[in-house]
Chain A
Amino acid sequence: MQVDQTLDCKGLSCPMPIIKLAKTVKKMNSGEVLELLGTDPGSKTDVPAWCEKTGNIFLEQAEDGGTFKFYIKKK
């Protein structure tokens, strides 16, 4: 998967990752892919829910040693 931009939200807790996600995606071009890195377990439900609500495409999520990785494609 080609990642166009990475947003580091490690260490941040709710609501900072979602606010940063919304602000970042707003500045991206349609079709670009964002990789969000985070450590808040809440993001596992918050990020897909935000994508569904805003119409952006939630591609997949992965986990690596305590860091969650989310891939989002801007609509």
Chain B
Amino acid sequence: MFKKGELRELFDSLFAKSWPMWIGGILLAVLNILLFVIKYPWGSSSGYTNIGQNLFQLLGISSLGTNVPINLHAVALLNIFIVIGAFISSLFSREFSIKVAPAGELVKGFIGGALMAIGATVGAGCTTGGFFTGVAALSGGALALGVGFTIGTFVALRYILWEMEALPNISMGKSYTILPGTAKKTGWQRWLGWILIAAILYLVSTYTSKGSAMKIIGWHVLIALLLGMILQRSRFCIVRAFREPFMTGEATAPVAVIVSILVAVVGFTVFKYFGVGNAGELAVRAIEMKAVYANFWLRALIGGFIFGLGMTIAGGCAVGTLWRAGEGHVKLWMSALGFVIMAPISRLFIVPAVKSILPESMRKMVFLPDILGYTGAVVLVLLILLLWYIFVKWNEKTGKFSAL
């Protein structure tokens, strides 16, 4: 018979300690593969844009608005339920509290979020949909985004290190911790987590009892809940993957991202090659072009650079902002706010300007197998991942590129 203590043991093994980041990476890749088949692989920035557009619509500024409500926008729902999933997971692990950073940090969060919004709209992709998903989807633009993120992260990290010396007051000052999960009389926090899970399962069942479009939305809610919990437990972080080699030199985060992309590459390539994934409605070519955007190469490089600046200043990329927001970091609430406000503005004013300046040859839709064949494209991606791995492991030992 199953004993109560054994259930407790299971709960503790999931929520008492953080999971290794690479385990999180593998699980996220599996869910990303599921998203690929259900509708479209994982992305985040278009969800921020939709939420922002709905906000402007609500304020009566319809030029920045949309007629797609949040509850019908799959990516917006992914974003929202990732926050809730991470919130539940942090309640279970007693890591939740409302963490109010000093005012200077809150401003940095907002600016970082706004820069990410500009970068993601200009570059046609963020670290998740553009890079993490994009590389696995054999997109040429994804590689250019990666270069942009690296340069942007490097520059912003130099800024942070300079700021620490020249303007130390920005990250000092009054901070508050509200409702910490480790304080006494906080047993209700775990119960709240269970209530939220029950409510979300009920919500999913209402979606899945309707037509096929609603079933897809329902599954997005469920997968987002899992994504949020996995992200919070493993602290999977793409900013760290780009930043850490230049900061502490630790290779944990880049290795986790590399492992995750490796898993997704296998799944995505099989589906693209055989034309699997919502095949009833989509032509095989449309499936092949999933997560490939018209951004190769300069458009992605510029957007990636701006996004890299933003995510480093905010301390979380589009998705990193979501799960940290769920954990209670108010700086990342500000980052999310900056992102949703700026994304529709950038989409309307900055993106057309960039497009008019850049010739089409510098913002092309490049699906690598079109140029290299499937074998060549996969080999190229594997080679790049291998070189990235060799670099971060070598740098971890030698510290050649690390500032700390």
A residues at B contact (CB < 8 Å): 8, 10-16, 18-20, 22-23, 39-42, 44-45, 49-50, 53, 63, 65-67
Instruction: Out of A10, A23, A53, name the residue touching B164 (CB < 8 Å).
Output: A23
| A15 to B243 alpha-carbon distance, docked (Å) | 9
Q: Are A13 and B164 in contact (CB under 8 A)?
A: no
By a CB distance below 8 angstroms, the chain A residues around B315 are 13-16
* One of B42-50, B122-130, B174-182 at the interface: B174-182
Q: When chains A and B are docked, how far (Å) is the Cα of A26 from the Cα of B319?
A: 33
CA distance A12 to B171 in the complex (A): 8
Question: Would you give the shortest CB distance from A29 to chain B, in whole angstroms?
Answer: 19
Residues in chain B near residue A8, CB distance under 8 A:
172
- Can you list 19 A-B pairs, Cβ within 8 angstroms, ordered by A? A8-B172, A10-B99, A11-B176, A11-B177, A11-B330, A12-B101, A13-B101, A13-B324, A13-B332, A14-B237, A14-B240, A15-B315, A23-B164, A39-B99, A45-B235, A53-B250, A65-B184, A66-B97, A66-B181
The digit string for B237-256, where 1 denotes a CB below 8 A from any CB of A, is: 10010010001111010000
| Residue of chain B at shortest CB distance from A52 | B250
Q: How far is the CB of B43 from chain A (nearest CB, A)?
A: 23
Q: Taking CB as reference atom, which chain A residue is nearest B179?
A: A66
Cβ A66 vs Cβ B160 within 8 A: no
Closest to B180 in A: A66
Q: Give the distance in Å from the alpha carbon of A8 to the alpha carbon of B171 in the complex.
A: 10
Contact assessment for B175 and A20 in the assembled complex, using a CB-CB cutoff below 8 Å: no
Given A12-B105, A15-B243, A42-B235: A63 touches B182 (CB 8 Å cut-off): yes
> Is the pair A66, B183 in contact by a Cβ cutoff of 8 Å?
yes
B290 interfacial by beta-carbon distance below 8 Å = no
Q: Using Cβ atoms and an 8 Å threshold, which residues of chain A touch B363?
A: none
Q: Is the CB of B180 within 8 A of A53?
A: no
Q: Is the CB of B99 within 8 A of A40?
A: yes
What A residues does B99 contact at CB under 8 A?
A: 10-11, 13, 39-40
Contacts of B237 in A (CB 8 A): 14
**Quick one: which of B250, B332, B404 contacts A19, CB cutoff 8 A?**
B404
B101 touches A41 (CB 8 A): no
Q: State the 3 A-B residue pairs at the shortest beta-carbon distance, nearest first.
A: A66-B180, A11-B175, A41-B95
**Quick check: A11 and B100 within 8 Å, CB to CB?**
yes
Across the interface, do A15 and B160 meet the contact criterion of CB distance under 8 Å? yes
Q: How far apart are the CA atoms of A16 and B313 in the complex, in Å? A: 10
CB distance from A51 to the nearest CB of B (A): 11
The chain B residues found within 8 Å of chain A, CB to CB, are: 18, 90, 93, 95, 97, 99-102, 105, 160-161, 164, 171-172, 175-177, 180-184, 235, 237, 240, 243, 247-250, 252, 315-316, 324, 327, 329-332, 404
Task: Give A56 Cβ to nearest chain B Cβ, in Å.
Answer: 12
A residues in contact with B180, CB < 8 Å: 39, 65-67
Give the CA-CA distance A44 to B235 in the complex, in Å: 11
Q: Which residues of A contact B248 (CB under 8 A)?
A: 18, 22, 50, 53
- In the complex with contacts A11-B175, A13-B324, A49-B252, A19-B102 CB distance below 8 A: no
Nearest B residue (CB) for A19: B164
B176 touches A19 (CB 8 A): no
Given known contacts A13-B99, A39-B99, is B247 in contact with A18 (CB within 8 Å)? yes
Provide the residues of chain A in CB contact with B324, threshold 8 Å: 13
Q: How far is the CB of B327 from chain A (nearest CB, A)?
A: 7
Min CB–CB distance A64 → chain B (angstroms): 8
Chain A residues lying within 8 Å of B177, measured Cβ to Cβ, are: 10-11, 39, 65-67
- Cα A45 to Cα B101 in complex, Å, equals 20
Report how far A12 CA is from B331 CA in the complex, Å: 8
Report B348 CB to chain A, min CB distance, Å: 31
Whether A13 contacts B329 in the complex (CB less than 8 A), given A23-B164, A49-B250, comes out as yes
Return A12 CB to nearest CB of chain B, in Å.
Answer: 6
Chain A neighbourhood of B102, CB < 8 A? 11-12
Give A13 to B324 CA distance when docked, in angstroms. 9
Closest to B327 in A: A41
What distance in Å separates the Cβ of A26 from its nearest Cβ neighbour in chain B?
A: 9
